[in-house]
Amino acid sequence: MSTTLVQAPVAGRAVRLENVPDPVFSAGMVGYGAAVDPARGVVEAVAPVSGKLLKLMPHAYIVMTADNVGVLVHLGLDTVALKGEGFTAHATQGDEVTAGQLIITYDVPAIEAKGLNPIVPVVVMDERESDNVVPSDAVTAGADIDSGADLFTANK
């Protein structure tokens, strides 16, 4: 069994995945994990794990670890509709990245100005067992969390 520590890609308030106001995430349809309600401002979204930047869209990215654990970071809800507005990429799809490396600059006020929720779900892709994802104490408590702090542990 592999254990993957997943770090918060942005600073903010840690949120249980089931409390994300989007059924695709809250019901674990994409996978299980946690979320961060980001600070209001322009924030730097970093890699939550080290690995290959498998997919990079302006509003979301997936990092695949050496143990083949795919971690999705989704910047805001329904933000695909913005077609990249409010997001600046600092990496290229296919890059090898390290945990904590800057991937996207995320303009949270611009997202909110469009009437969208800026919350950042972070999930293990295709994880079907919620028990395989163990939230950190910050997530359990709904506490503030720093970028790079432990968000959850994924067991595969």
Task: Return the pLDDT at 151.
Answer: 98
- The closest of 155, 149, 145 to 36, measured between CA atoms, is 145
Would you state the structure tokens that stand for residue 3, as one six-digit string? 């254990």
| Contact yes or no for 149/7 (Cβ under 8 A) | yes
Per-residue pLDDT in tens (0 to 9) along the chain, 156 residues: 789 999 999 999 999 999 999 999 999 999 999 999 999 999 999 999 999 999 999 999 999 999 999 999 999 999 999 999 999 999 999 999 999 999 999 999 999 999 999 999 999 998 999 999 999 999 999 999 999 999 999 998
Structural domains of the chain sorted by starting position, each given as residue range(s) with its CATH number in brackets: 3-148 (2.70.70.10)
Any idea which residues carry the catalytic annotation?
74
